[in-house]
Structure formats: C-alpha cells, structure tokens
C-alpha cells in the first residue's frame, strides 16, 4: 500500500511520482484489502471514543463499493465484539420519491447490508427520507443539517464517486456552499442506476443529498473507488484543478481527505499509466514495451521508424540512454509483440476446454473468434453459463414468448391445464409494476429465453446443446440486480465441473467492470474453485487460464499475452452468434452507463480497433483481433 508524501493517515512514507496528485492517494492490491483497512480504521475510532465515553458520528454511503466495509464491520461486531452503541450515523442521500421499503431504497439497502446486523441504536440512525411531502423537503433538509450539527459534526465520512465525479448526489455544478437539499439527477447518474431499477425509465429523477459543504465539514473524509471504469474520473478528481464540473475535486481543499483505490481504479493516474513522466523508473521488459507503444502512438509512428529524438522529446531520456542503438530497442519491442500473434495452427488442438461465461452471451461477445477457432481445432469444448441472465430480459419479451406458447399450445391441442397456466402467467405479467421482482415462474421463463439464445449462439460455431452447461449459480437467483455473496454452493458447482472435465484450458472473463458485478463474483467463484482443485490434485497438470475481455472493456496491447487475428468472415460469424441473443439485441436491459453501443457493435469495433492499433505500430494488418492474457493462477 502506498501513501501520499508525508500525509498518509497511517503515517506512510513518501510515494514516489505522486506529485501530480492534489489529494493523498492510497493504493490497495484488491477491493477486499481496502475494505479490511477501512473497517479497521472505523473500528479503531469507535473503540478509542468508547474508552473516552464519547460518541462517534459517521457519514455513510450506499453502493457496491462500501458493501465490503460493511461486511467487515459486521464480522468485527459478531466475531470480535465491536460495540456500535456509541455510534451515530448520517447517510449521504436517498432517491426521491421512493418508499423506504422499495427494493432500490437506500433505507432498505442500509438495513439489509449493515444496520440489521450490528447494534447501532435505532434513534442514532439517520437517513434522508424519500417519501416526505414535497412541500416539507426544505424544512426537513434544514433539520437534517441541524441534527448533524447537534451531534458535533461528522468525525468520519465515507464516500464513493460517480462517473460524473459526484459525491453523494452532488452533480456537476454543485459548489462548496451547498447543504442538504433536493437535487435533479444527471442523465449519466440515472443511467448508472438503471440496472437497479430494471431500466433507466424507472429511475427517479430527483434525490435528497448532503451538500458538498456538509461533506467538507467532516473531520475526516475517505473516498473509495474500485474498478477500471472509475479510473478516468479519479484522475480528473485527483490530478486536475478544483472544478464545479467534478464535485469530488473539492476534496483537494480538505486537510484530512484521502482517496483509497484498488489498482484498477488507479490505472489512469500518471504515476501508474506513464510513471516515467513523474519519476525515475526501473526499466523492466513490460514497462519498456508499454513506453515504446505509448511513444509510437503519441508520435503516430510505427515502432520500427522511431528515432532517438522521439524518446528525448517525450520524457524517455533514461530509456534511450540505456541503449547505444535505438533501432535495437525498437526491434526488441516489435519482436515481443509480433511473437504474440497466434494463428489457428498456433492454438491448442484436441484438448479439453471449459469456457466460463458469466452471462449467457459473454462467450460469443468476448471470445467468439477464439471459440470458433478452438472448435475448428477439434478441441473438446464445454461452454459453462454461470448465471441464467434472467434479470436482463424485458417483460415484453416474456409476453411475446407467452403469446407464442399460447398459440402453439392451441395448435397442438394443449390440455386445459397448460392453457390456464399460460393465461395466468400472462395476466400476472400485465398487472406487474415496473421494478417488481418477478415470480419464480417468470424468472424461469426469462432464464429459458436466455438459455435458448445461448444454444443458438454456439450453434453458429458448430456446437450444440450437448456442449452447453447451465450452472445456474445460487448467488444470482435473487430476482434483482443486487446479488448474494458468493457462497460454498457456488464454488462447489464450479469445482464439480472442473473435476468432471479435468480441462487442459479454461477461459475466464477478466473484464471486472460490468455494472452490476456479476463478472467479478463469477471470477471469485472460479478463483476459489481453482485453488481447491490444485490442492486436491497436486500431481495433475493444472489448466492454463485464458482471461478474455470484450463486453465492458478490452485488454491493452501491452497487457495481452496472445493476439488472435480474425478475418472478415471470422468477425461476421462472431457477430452472427451475438445476434442470436435476441433479448439483448437493439436495446439491452443493462448496457452499462459507459458505452451506448449495442454489444455486437462494441465487440466488432473493439476487435477492429485492436487490429488498427497493431497496424499503426507496424505489425501485420488484420481485419480484427481478439486479445487474451494467459495465467496459471487467477490474480486477486
């Protein structure tokens, strides 16, 4: 873990190269490490204040990032006796209008994820109310501010950060003078929340939020961010000047604010992305390659045409000085990249393979080209769909399929019981309110829709239903976007498949920035199962793991271990397979807020973009390229 020069909350040493960062930044190897650290800080504060018979006032957020902290605090309470009886809490925000028991309500979120499991006194819990009368909002907000003041102010406030740079629901334009108030939500914020509300049309347009000034009054501020999708806004908040356009940038003006990041969220910081600009670096092979690719793209030159002057004009003096002949350096990097290009004959053949697909379309979206080539190389391929994807099916698709089944049942002289059930299901669908949890029957129909599409997709690659496994992992089956933690049953399902197939190769989704975290959770289940598999079969040849991306992001060229060229015909087959997922076509339920393109467009354009980048670097020109990282153990 690294700290800002002389300012780390735990007295850390200087972080070399962080001089562009205008607020202290700490880096963690994983979100889990960050959660443990933050929970320990909070626990220490609670314990020290209890020893002085003094209360602790905490500002608390919602969202996926703080859940890990809440789980750690619950563990400390239940296993180590951490006492919350001296704690007062004030939540940052709530949607408006919304009932406190609604699935998406922050009241419900906080109780289910924290308050129901610890002993914070009921009278000490304060959450903005989303169901008060509109005419009462102003007075209620003023009273909320007074309660914080009467409590002595917040000792510590936890924050997340939105894609607009908002903290709380303080959208762009919010200044340090703002206090608790109603606010109109930005379109981007509403798109970010769409997955929780079963579509952005159901997301409330307003919220009640603490103001920027309220937040800045806290004695200590910790902002946490995880995932690659947060990296661009983190860089703006940390390295650019304070601006109304990024309300998180106001943390630069707080004397005791800290930004905590996992490696992915820190990826766009200068000291991580281009460290040679801000500090002396040790020139490893990987860093040399990244720097030369960066230089070639910055100068718009092919690698083998770079000149020594290019290096000196772009902060790469120390690298240039290590080589007596720049041409040798460029040739070295060029050959490293060229050797990663793998044609069909370079790929495995007649091997046992398992492709783990978190959703029933990630296989063809993210690695349709590789899947096609592996099948043609006569590998024994099993495509394991880890979740049923049911929450991503529109109700209109269910109605369409029910209509088809009703008409078909009549044609085939279906019995009255079948017809009656179809009619009942259709009636239930017609009376359903937006955002309601589906019945088990409807969830099953939605799952079957996704399953049938998945089989149609792999049939394009000359596979069939025999090659598909629908694992239907328990953590996913909540009927809502928010999932249960990965449990023993989830891990065992993966373990059972590994033992059955004993694969030589497995393919795992490595893009962990999907908007509702399913990819990350599936990754964790596979990681744990692989660990057990290796322990149980120490003498076996363990499978090589291929990490693929594509649904949410793509591997950078310098990160990839293998580059798979695709012809136009290859890419056309991949797109055709994606088209088979009709429920996700034209308008997906959860496209994510960071990319408005359809999934087939993303896959096609990303693969073509990777090919174009290779071409610009002077490597062979291909129509499209898929990229993969190969590991023997899944990194944390």
Q: Average pLDDT, stretch 12-30?
A: 81
Beta-carbon contacts of 262 under 8 Å, excluding residues fewer than 6 positions away, are 27, 28, 29, 30, 31, 33, 34, 225, 226, 227
pLDDT at 515: 53
Given a contact cutoff of 8 angstroms between Cβ atoms, the answer to whether 141 and 208 are in contact is yes
Q: What residues are annotated to the active site?
A: 171
pLDDT at 514: 59
Identify the band that residue 14 occupies on the pLDDT scale cut at 50, 70 and 90: very low
Strands in 624-631's sheet, in edge-to-edge order, are 468-470, 380-385, 352-357, 505-509, 544-548, 624-631, 562-566
Chain segment 203-260, per-residue pLDDT in tens: 999 999 999 999 999 999 999 999 888 999 999 999 999 999 999 999 999 999 999 9
pLDDT at 416: 86
Residue 566 β-bridge partners: 624
Same fold, 25-272 and 344-391+440-631: yes
pLDDT at 431: 84
Strands 624-631 and 352-357, by their bridges, are unpaired
pLDDT at 594: 59
Q: Is the pLDDT of residue 516 over 70?
A: no
pLDDT at 161: 95
Q: Is 464 left (phi over 0), alpha (psi -120 to 50) or beta?
A: beta
Identify the band that residue 589 occupies on the pLDDT scale cut at 50, 70 and 90: low
Query: The domain 344-391+440-631 is classified under which CATH number: 3.40.50.10320, 3.20.20.10, 3.30.450.20, 1.20.140.10?
Result: 3.40.50.10320
Lookup result for tokens 């001296």: 86
Among candidates 155, 182, 172, which has minimal Cα distance to 90?
A: 155
**pLDDT, the chain, mean:** 92
Highest mean pLDDT, choosing among 5-14, 187-196, 406-415, 521-530: 521-530
Residue 546 β-bridge partners: 507, 630
Q: Is the pLDDT of residue 481 over 60?
A: no
Chain segment 61-105, per-residue pLDDT in tens: 998 889 999 999 999 999 999 999 999 999 999 999 999 999 899
25-272 topology per CATH = Rossmann fold (3.40.50)
Q: Average pLDDT, stretch 395-407?
A: 91
pLDDT at 480: 62
Strands 562-566 and 624-631, by their bridges, are antiparallel
Identify the band that residue 10 occupies on the pLDDT scale cut at 50, 70 and 90: very low
Burial of residue 325 (CB within 10 Å: 0-12, 13-18, 19+) is: exposed
Distance of CA 250 to the CA centre of its chain: 25
Q: What residue spans define the domains of the chain?
A: 25-272, 280-336, 344-391+440-631
Q: Is the pLDDT of residue 614 over 80?
A: yes
pLDDT at 1: 32
CA distance 227 to 524: 15
pLDDT at 2: 35
pLDDT at 483: 72
Burial of residue 259 (CB within 10 Å: 0-12, 13-18, 19+) is: buried
Q: Is the pLDDT of residue 7 over 70?
A: no
Given a contact cutoff of 8 angstroms between Cβ atoms, the answer to whether 194 and 77 are in contact is no
Q: Is 266 helix (H, G, I), strand (E, B) or coil?
A: coil
CA distance 4 to 23: 8
Among candidates 158, 44, 166, 182, which has minimal Cα distance to 110?
A: 158
Angle at 459 between CA 366 and CA 351, to 5 degrees: 70
Lookup result for tokens 């953590």: 475
| pLDDT over 90 percentage in the chain | 77
Q: Is the pLDDT of residue 4 over 60?
A: no
pLDDT at 282: 95
Chain segment 356-368, per-residue pLDDT in tens: 999 999 999 999 9
Could you tell me the two tokens for 442?
């409807």
Could you tell me the two tokens for 300?
């718009």
């Amino acid at each position: 873990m690294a700290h800002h020069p002389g300012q780390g909350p735990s007295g850390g040493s200087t972080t070399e190269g962080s001089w562009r960062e205008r607020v202290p930044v700490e880096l963690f190897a994983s979100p889990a490490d960050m959660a443990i650290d933050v929970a320990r800080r909070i626990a220490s504060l609670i314990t020290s204040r209890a020893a002085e018979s003094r209360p602790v006032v905490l500002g608390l957020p919602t969202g996926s990032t703080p859940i890990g902290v809440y789980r750690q605090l619950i563990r400390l309470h239940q296993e180590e006796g951490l006492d919350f009886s001296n704690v007062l809490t004030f939540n940052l925000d709530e949607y408006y209008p919304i009932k406190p028991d609604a699935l998406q309500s922050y009241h419900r979120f906080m109780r289910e994820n924290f308050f129901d499991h610890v002993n914070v006194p009921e009278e000490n819990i304060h959450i903005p109310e989303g169901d008060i009368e509109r005419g009462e909002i102003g007075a209620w907000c003023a009273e909320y501010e007074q309660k914080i003041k009467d409590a002595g102010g917040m000792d510590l406030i936890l924050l997340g950060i939105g894609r607009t740079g908002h903290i709380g629901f303080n959208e762009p334009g919010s200044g340090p003078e703002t206090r608790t108030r109603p606010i109109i939500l930005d379109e981007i914020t509403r798109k970010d929340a769409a997955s929780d509300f079963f579509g952005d049309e159901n997301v409330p347009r307003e919220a009640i939020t603490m103001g920027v000034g309220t937040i800045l009054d806290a004695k200590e501020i910790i902002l946490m961010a995880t995932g690659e999708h947060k990296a661009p806004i983190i860089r703006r908040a940390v390295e650019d000047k304070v601006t109304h356009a990024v309300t998180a940038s106001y943390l630069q003006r707080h004397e005791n604010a800290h930004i905590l990041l996992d490696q992915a969220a820190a990826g766009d910081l200068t000291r991580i992305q281009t460290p040679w600009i801000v500090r002396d670096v040790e020139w490893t092979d990987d860093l040399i390659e990244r720097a030369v690719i960066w230089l070639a793209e910055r100068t718009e030159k092919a690698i083998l045409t770079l000149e020594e002057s290019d290096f000196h004009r772009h902060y790469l003096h120390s690298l240039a000085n290590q080589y007596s002949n720049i041409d040798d350096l460029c040739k070295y990097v060029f050959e490293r990249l060229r050797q990663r290009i793998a044609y069909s004959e370079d790929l495995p053949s007649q091997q046992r393979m398992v492709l783990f697909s978190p959703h029933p379309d990630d296989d063809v979206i993210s690695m349709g080209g590789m899947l096609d080539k592996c099948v043609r190389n006569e590998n024994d391929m099993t495509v394991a769909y880890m979740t049923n994807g049911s929450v991503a099916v529109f109700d209109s698709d269910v109605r369409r399929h029910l209509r088809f089944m009703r008409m078909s049942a009549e044609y085939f002289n279906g019995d009255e019981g079948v017809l009656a059930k179809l009619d009942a299901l259709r009636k239930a669908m017609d009376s359903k309110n937006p955002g309601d949890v589906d019945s088990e029957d409807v969830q099953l129909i939605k799952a079957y829709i996704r399953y049938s599409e998945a089989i149609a997709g792999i049939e394009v690659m000359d596979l069939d239903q025999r090659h598909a496994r629908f694992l239907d992992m328990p953590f996913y089956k909540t009927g809502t976007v928010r999932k249960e933690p990965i449990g023993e049953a989830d891990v065992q399902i993966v373990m059972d498949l590994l033992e059955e197939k004993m694969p030589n190769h497995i393919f795992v989704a490595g893009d962990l920035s999907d908007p509702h975290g399913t990819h990350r959770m599936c990754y964790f289940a596979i990681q744990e199962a692989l660990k057990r598999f290796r322990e149980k079969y120490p003498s076996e040849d363990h499978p090589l793991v291929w990490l693929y991306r594509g649904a949410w992001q793509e591997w950078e060229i310098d990160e990839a271990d293998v580059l798979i060229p695709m012809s136009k015909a290859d890419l056309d087959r991949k797109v055709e397979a994606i088209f088979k997922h009709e429920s996700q076509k034209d308008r997906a339920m959860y496209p994510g807020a960071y990319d408005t393109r359809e999934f087939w467009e993303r896959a096609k354009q990303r693969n073509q973009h990777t090919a174009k980048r290779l071409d610009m670097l002077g490597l062979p020109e291909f129509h499209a390229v898929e990229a993969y990282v190969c590991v023997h153990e899944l990194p944390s």
